[in-house]
Amino acid sequence: MRGFVFGGVQKNEYIELIKMFLRPSEFSVNDAADGAPCALRIELPAALTGAECRDKDAVKRFLYDRLSALTGKSLAWGILTGIRPVKLFGELVEKAGGDEVCARRRFRDEYYVSEAKTELTARVYARQRALVAPPAEGTVGLYIGIPFCPTRCGYCSFTAGPVPYARVGAYLAALRREMDFVAAGMARKGLCAETIYIGGGTPTFLNETDFDELLACVRRRFAGAGTEEFTVEAGRPDTITAEKLRAMRRHGANRVSINPQSMNDATLARIGRDHGAKAVRAAFRLAREVGALRINADLIAGLPGEDEADFTRSLSALLDLAPENVTIHALAVKRAARLREEDAEYSYTRAEQAAGMLRAAAEALAGASYAPYYLYRQKQTVGNLENTGYARDGKPGLYNVRIMEERQTIVALGAGASTKLYVPRENRLTRAFNVSDYGIYTERLEEMLARKQRLLFE
């Protein structure tokens, strides 16, 4: 057992870095030198502890150096524990007066990011600058959450999940009330939705009547001449029907996510999905028949039971369907996931394999004329790897870019939604959260409307 002594330093983000080197069973953290007995104690030097220390990166570099020497490991993302490397890279470019060479050097030397991940980050940054203009004043991104799914995937830690359909009506009624409130507030403030994103969960879990009414409500209240992108998550292909796709087009949606996660039927059954690859192909065919919908599709690297050959076969099958956007995720196994309960250290055992999958994906997508346009990281991913969105024909997912840049207000509705007010003059965000449980959301809606009023409309 290794012990870490932090003194008065806030520990949480440093613990995340330690977890990238050591499994939770291999270390303990103490506030003082008289902590639990351990074979090796790593104590922060006095210069890095106490209220006078403001350099968190110096603490991380100290820990990284000690842990790398102890374990023989190096991390592709260095000391970075945040989810937005591209945003950090952009800030470094701005501080260097636009000098990307200087930003790259600092990314490598101060944050210990590998050459390969520095190059990837720089490419995504350049792609965003080339394809996406800064948001216009008075525009916001709008997120609407539908927290229901037909089944719960083994890796899922979200609040979304299967429910008796009889309970859905109360949630939709509360959501319409929140939409009315927000639409009125946005009108008073002269705000318009640049992007609309209906996510979840699986919005297409709703039956055709409820789905049509939801989209009609969204269109009437929020869609306008300034709305550039309207995305609907339809992640489960077995919930997609021709009528639901026609409703998307009828009410102004122009982008849909059809997310197989794998094109391997055995894998899909293993993770708890009630569909196979045939349903994915059928959903794509229906979407193409309806027309005018750009398609995003997600695959996950590191799923249980899959090796690199399985993953590359899935990717090849997906590329045959020619989606406009592809997002490659490194599997994240969060605390509440069934897979975590079955194997608490799953994320540590598949690191090299998942890294190989991401490399294979980057090569195959480049060969098919896809370029990376957005990137983010999550905690507890296999190998501490990244999620990368790829686009072809210069058609990125605009909402994805905006949410990662954090330079536009995001107004979020529904259970588990997080509203973020962007203050340009201070370049900061202020947040207001909706409760995650859909039942509590319906009961405490007025409380959440009051939060939005204070944050956005006063």
Question: CB of 283 within 8 A of CB of 290?
Answer: no
The CATH number linked to 247 is 3.80.30.20
Mean pLDDT of 408-429: 96
Same-domain status, 190 and 54: no
Q: In sequence order, which residues have a C-beta less than 8 Å from that of residue 414 and are 6 or more positions away? A: 143, 144, 145, 146, 147, 175, 178, 434, 441
In this structure, is residue 442 part of a structural domain?
Answer: no
In this structure, is residue 420 part of a structural domain?
Answer: no
Same-domain status, 278 and 401: yes
Mean pLDDT of 124-136: 96
What local confidence, expressed as pLDDT, does residue 345 receive? 75
Q: Which domain holds residue 44?
A: 2-71
| pLDDT at 1 exceeding the cut of 60 | no
Same-domain status, 185 and 297: yes
Which of the residue ranges 12-21, 50-59, 66-75, 444-453 has the most confident prediction, judged by mean pLDDT? 444-453
Q: Which amino acid is at 209?
A: T
Question: CB of 155 within 8 A of CB of 331?
Answer: yes
Other CB atoms within a 10 A radius of the CB of residue 152 amount to: 17
CA distance 215 to 202: 14
Same-domain status, 217 and 327: yes
What local confidence, expressed as pLDDT, does residue 35 receive? 53
In this structure, is residue 35 part of a structural domain?
Answer: yes
Structure confidence by residue, pLDDT tens digits, 369-387: 999 999 999 988 898 999 9
Same-domain status, 323 and 178: yes
In this structure, is residue 395 part of a structural domain?
Answer: yes
Structure confidence by residue, pLDDT tens digits, 10-55: 677 788 898 899 888 888 877 655 555 555 667 777 777 665 456 8
In this structure, is residue 447 part of a structural domain?
Answer: no
In this structure, is residue 456 part of a structural domain?
Answer: no
- Across the chain, what does the average pLDDT equal? 91
What local confidence, expressed as pLDDT, does residue 189 receive? 97
Structure confidence by residue, pLDDT tens digits, 259-309: 999 999 999 999 989 899 999 999 999 999 999 899 999 999 999 999 999
Mean pLDDT of 107-121: 98
Closest of 69, 79, 85 to residue 110, by C-alpha? 79
Same-domain status, 175 and 58: no
Q: How many domains does the chain have?
A: 3
